[in-house]
Structure formats: structure tokens, C-alpha cells
Amino acid sequence: MTQPAMFLAHGSPTLAIEDNNYTQFLKQLIQQLPRRPRAVVVFSAHFDSPVQAVSNDDVHETMHDFYGFPEEMYGIDYPAPGDRELSKQIGDLFADNNLPYEMSSGRGLDHGVWVFLRTLFPKADVPVVELSVDSRRSPAEQYAIGKMLTQLRQENVLVIGSGGLVHNLRLLDSGASSPADWAVEFDEWIGQQLQDWNLRMLFDYERRAPHVRKAVPVYANEHFAPLLYAMGAADDERRAVKLFQDYQYGSISLNCWVFGGTVSK
């Protein structure tokens, strides 16, 4: 059975120590997949590089790439194994499609990866390969890179894009009791294009989506990019299902979209 591709919002780093509706959802998410994946490949918003990077470690270190958070956050260790064979396979797929890439060793997993993997796989016993995104590429190019990895899903590899569809730290409202209207409108517009698999509109989202500069500010568009990489990995099926939606601080969108494959809702 083919694994889906997936977009997961990673929210605030404190997601790693929180108990809320989203973390409860994540704890059950693996049970909704057709089977336990043999490995996970993650395009992370926090690994933005003009050259496609592929992690290539036996065991990943844990990056604490944030500041000003509770002290316990800096003591968290998530020593997930890598998979050098899978890393090589991914590199070969990129090379076959004329995409320059480089192997990346010793960097570790950034919080855009381990924060939610720690909830999905608390024993850190599933191999992980982290991939960079390039926020300067066009949406069509980002989608095309994800498409290069389509066959991995048939080999029981879960492909995930980790970011945030609405991610503007300058508009956070810690006292908000409900999400901002503009954030909901943007999410709903994106959701409609995903369900329709309307690539023409999605690739032009920066001109067409409502409230786009509030939702995806220029300084943070790397958080939107993983959606397109993950979506491309399911180009063979072109089916999108939303499994979860919530908000933090009035506008940080916490959502899970799955593309292709088989999931139970």
C-alpha cells in the first residue's frame, strides 16, 4: 500500500512540550496511515538553501535553533537514525532529473523536523532524511522537485513538508480567543485550490490569494514552500484531504494535509 505525502505545520517549538488538540492529533496520526513507514523524508522550512541538500548521517544530532524559550526545550534530544542508502537513492533521483544537490553531514535535525517527529515517533526509531527547501525558487519548481520523489511513497517512505501556511510572527496575538478572519480566509482559499488540485492558481498564489502578504510575508515564505514540495510528491494521484485545522496566537495556522495514498479519517 502506497504511503501518502503530507504537509504538517510545525507551529511554535513549544509544540514539543505542549498538550493540546494538535499534539493529541499528532499522537494518533500514524495510526491513520496504511502502515508504519520504514523511513521519513522531511522538507523543512528551517533548512533554506539555494542548493538542494540531502542529510547523510548515521545518527542525527538535535538542533536547538531557537532562543527565548523554556529551559527544558534546550535539553530535549531526539537522536533519530539516518539512512545513508535512502539518502543516496534520493541523490540519484535528483541527479536523474538534472537537479544539482549536495550531501549534508553533521548539521543535525532542526526544530522544523524533530518537534513533530518526537510526537509521531517518540522512540526516535524511524530513520529520517532531512531535505532543504529553496524559498527563492518558483512554486512550479518547488512542486517539480517534490515530484522527483514520487516513487519513494511506493517503497513505504513517508514524504513530509514541514512549515506553516499562515506564519507571520509580527502579527501574533497571544490573547486571541479565536483566529483572525484574514488568516482563516487565506487558509480556506489555499484549501480550495488543494482540493481542486488547481496548480495554475496555487502557482500564482502570491497574486491571487486573499491577505497573502499577511499570511506569507516576504521574509518568511520558506514556511509556505514545503506545501508545494510535499504536494509534488503525490503528483501521480492528485488528491488532497485535510485532516486537521486549528490556530495558535490568533493566526499561526496548525494544519495537516495529506496527498494521495490511503488514510483513515
Which domains are present in the chain?
Answer: 5-259 (3.40.830.10)
The burial of 121, by beta-carbon neighbours within 10 Å (0-12 exposed, 13-18 middle, 19 or more buried), is given as middle
Q: What is the pLDDT along the chain (265 residues), one digit of tens a residue?
A: 899 999 999 998 999 999 999 999 999 999 999 999 999 999 999 999 999 999 999 999 999 999 899 999 999 999 999 999 999 999 999 999 999 999 999 999 999 999 999 999 999 999 999 999 999 999 999 999 999 999 999 999 999 999 999 999 888 888 888 999 999 999 999 999 999 999 999 999 999 999 999 999 988 899 999 999 999 999 999 999 999 999 999 999 999 999 998 787 6
Contacts of 72-78 with C-beta under 8 Å, sequence gap 24+, read 72/17, 73/13, 73/14, 73/16, 73/17, 76/16, 76/17, 76/114, 76/118, 78/109, 78/114, 78/117, 78/118, 78/124
pLDDT at site 1: 80
Q: What is the CA radius of gyration of the chain?
A: 17
